[in-house]
Amino acid sequence: MSTSNQTLQGLPLAGIRVVEFVHMVMGPTCGLVLADLGAEVIKVEPVAEGDNTRRLTGSGAGYWMTYNRNKKSFAVDIKTEDGMAAVRKLIESADVVTENFRPGAMEKLGLGYEQVKAIRPDIIYSSMKGFLPGPYEHRTALDEVVQMMSGLAYMTGPEGRPLRAGASVNDVMGGMFSAISILAALWQRNATGEGQFVQTGLFENSAFLVGQHMMQMATTGKAAAPMPSRLSAWAIYDVFNTADDQQVFMGVVSDSQWQAFCEVFGFAQLGCDPHFARNTQRVHARAQILPQVRERLASLSKAVVMAMCEQAGLPFSPIQRPEDLFDDVHLNESGGLAHLTLDNGETVKVPMLPFEMNGRRFDTRLNVPPLGSHSHELLEQLGYNAGEVDSLRERGVVR
């Protein structure tokens, strides 16, 4: 395993060097997971303008800052002989190579699995694509495409109006599954000494997400209905309006919660009625129960409703927007937000990986890197002297 920077010592993946050829969300997410856990993740970028993700606007404006912290940037022109020679030296020092470009792109560059394996025989090579090998493997895929293909968009929107999920769920989860496969391959290499090729597919990821709906059909004989028109498994599992024009989601998902709900919210008659004692009975009586609940909650403020839910031990939530999480009490007081510095010098917060190990969360060690900010450092590590580095820069081979 490669030598790591001293700042990585003590982290789970300290000593692992990852070279990534990635863009957008899926590939960078994989690298983010590994980098946050202590791997030295080196992002190889085109020397002129870098990863195109840097310049995305609109719905993609947040991609770059979200998925590229704790990484190093190596800006190089791999279409030149000297640039490719530097990349080959970098790969020789690596444990893992990742990529998520269209099928065949890395092979054309001379950096497909077999070509990289010839450079570093025990390399773990992770390829993230739209589809795993099969009839669809040469298609171009996006998160929307596979959500439509898998039925996820059908399940999310109302009937006749398929709707993609409101976040890049497949891209992010695809990157996570890629990281899982890489960790498994590294563990196996410890035992066998051999590297391997691992691959992740967006479509297969989305199919995994809807597996529960497939099994609903298999076990009941009835197809799952889209979420807006589904038959709920519980009588109270809805969004309710409050007196101050706010909304609160609340669920009552067990018989004991039903009793607590009736007691706290003042529905003594419903709580004592044997016709509503069991969850199945209440589900069939939704049309009778829900209007009463909606009327009661509409007379209370959001704060009061949430306090009563807390008292009753019910699952509940205010209806929030993503930007509300910047000020979320739990995320801030529990240390769940990492700090990043924007190009303009402003410090912002972004969610950390959603787990801890031995009480430790994984914060920002390296800010999202400016283009080529680590090229000089890495070239020196690879054996280039100062004059050679200057020559490469002067000729535009590296930045």
User: pLDDT tens digits, residue range 48-60?
Assistant: 999 999 999 999 9
- State the average pLDDT over residues 21-36: 98
- Residue 229: pLDDT band with limits 50, 70, 90: confident
Given a cut of 80, whether residue 1 has pLDDT beyond it is no
User: pLDDT tens digits, residue range 161-170?
Assistant: 999 999 999 9
Q: How far apart are alpha carbons 107 and 113 in whole angstroms? A: 8
DSSP strand pairing (247-252 vs 236-241): antiparallel
- Residue 3: pLDDT band with limits 50, 70, 90: very low
Count CB-CB contacts under 10 A for residue 311: 12
What is the average pLDDT value for the chain, to the nearest integer?
Answer: 96
Task: Please report the pLDDT score of residue 8 as a whole number.
Answer: 56
CA angle 362, 19, 194 (to 5 degrees): 100
Calculate what percentage of the chain has a pLDDT beyond 90: 96
H helices present in the chain, as ranges: 26-36, 63-67, 81-92, 105-109, 113-119, 143-150, 152-156, 169-192, 202-209, 211-220, 255-265, 268-272, 279-284, 286-297, 302-312, 329-333, 375-381, 386-394
Given a cut of 90, whether residue 230 has pLDDT beyond it is no
Helices H / strands E in the chain, number of each: 18, 11
User: pLDDT tens digits, residue range 286-303?
Assistant: 999 999 999 999 999 999
Count CB-CB contacts under 10 A for residue 190: 8
- Residue 120: pLDDT band with limits 50, 70, 90: very high
Task: Please report the pLDDT score of residue 231 as a whole number.
Answer: 79
Torsion angle defined by CA atoms of residues 136, 142, 148 and 151, in that order, rounded to the nearest 10 degrees: 80
- State the average pLDDT over residues 183-207: 98
User: pLDDT tens digits, residue range 300-314?
Assistant: 999 999 999 999 999
Q: How far apart are alpha carbons 371 and 196 in whole angstroms? A: 30
* Residue entry with tokens 């202590």: 38
Given a cut of 90, whether residue 5 has pLDDT beyond it is no
| Domains contained in the chain, CATH given | 6-209+369-394 (3.40.50.10540), 232-322 (3.30.1540.10)
- State the average pLDDT over residues 236-254: 97
Task: Please report the pLDDT score of residue 4 as a whole number.
Answer: 39
Please list the residues that pair with 101 across neighbouring strands. none
Given a cut of 60, whether residue 2 has pLDDT beyond it is no
Given a cut of 50, whether residue 92 has pLDDT beyond it is yes
Q: How far apart are alpha carbons 201 and 191 in whole angstroms? A: 27
User: pLDDT tens digits, residue range 348-378?
Assistant: 999 999 999 999 999 999 999 999 999 999 9
